[in-house]
Amino acid sequence: MLEFPPNIVPNGAVASIVDRGGVQRGASALRVDRLGNHYRIAMTLPPLDDEDGARVVVSRLIRAKRKGLRVPYPLLSVDQSGCGTGVVVDGAGQTGGSIRIRGLPPYAIVREGFWFSIESSNGQHYLHNNGADAGAGIDGRATLSVDDTMLRRSFADGARVYLARPMIEGLIDGSEQDWELAVDHNTRIEFTIEEAA
């Protein structure tokens, strides 16, 4: 899994949920939910006028078609750092639409709409959006809603949860990847990452 250098930050993004369910229509409409919902994000990088930086980004995007790419999910001006950086999964074998976590600061609140990723034992991140306010007790434990995509795998007890800097990772979407070679030496790059699971 590849990552960009830390100074490469997108200046635009369009996020979407890939919904594996659907609506069956007949005499009445029926929503059929299926497992496998996940996220996709199209990102735009600002013009890269640094020749070395542009070269590295293009090189990594080419290789990410096969190896995958991991980037921080853009939080814009939302500050989620009050949730701490030592948050982990609280108990193995969890499934369904919620996940228990521990390691939050006492009485911290994970707000509805906060983004977070859970890192599996093999290092893969799974992006989620918290569906309801969740307050930690004095013990730093809380239960987050993940019914946006449901848990796509069972995580080990102690698996790391990224609230301050959630990550999205997956494959570069599309059959080709292109970049602009401008005479002003500003390289403009757009790409789409779709979660693999």
- Residue 33 has a pLDDT of 76
- Residue 170 has a pLDDT of 95
Question: pTM, whole model, 2 decimals?
Answer: 0.88
The CATH architecture to which 2-74+170-194 belongs is 2-Layer Sandwich (3.30)
Among 2.40.30, 3.40.50, 1.25.40, 1.20.140, name the CATH number for the domain at 81-165: 2.40.30
In the chain, where does the domain assigned CATH 2.40.30 lie?
Answer: 81-165
Contact 193, 143 (CB under 8 A): no
Beta strand ranges found along the chain (DSSP E): 2-3, 12-18, 22-24, 30-32, 38-48, 69-72, 88-89, 98-102, 109-110, 115-119, 125-129, 134-135, 142-145, 161-162, 167-172, 179-180, 187-194
The residues pairing with 18 across neighbouring beta strands, listed in sequence order, are 38
Q: Is the pLDDT of residue 108 over 70?
A: yes
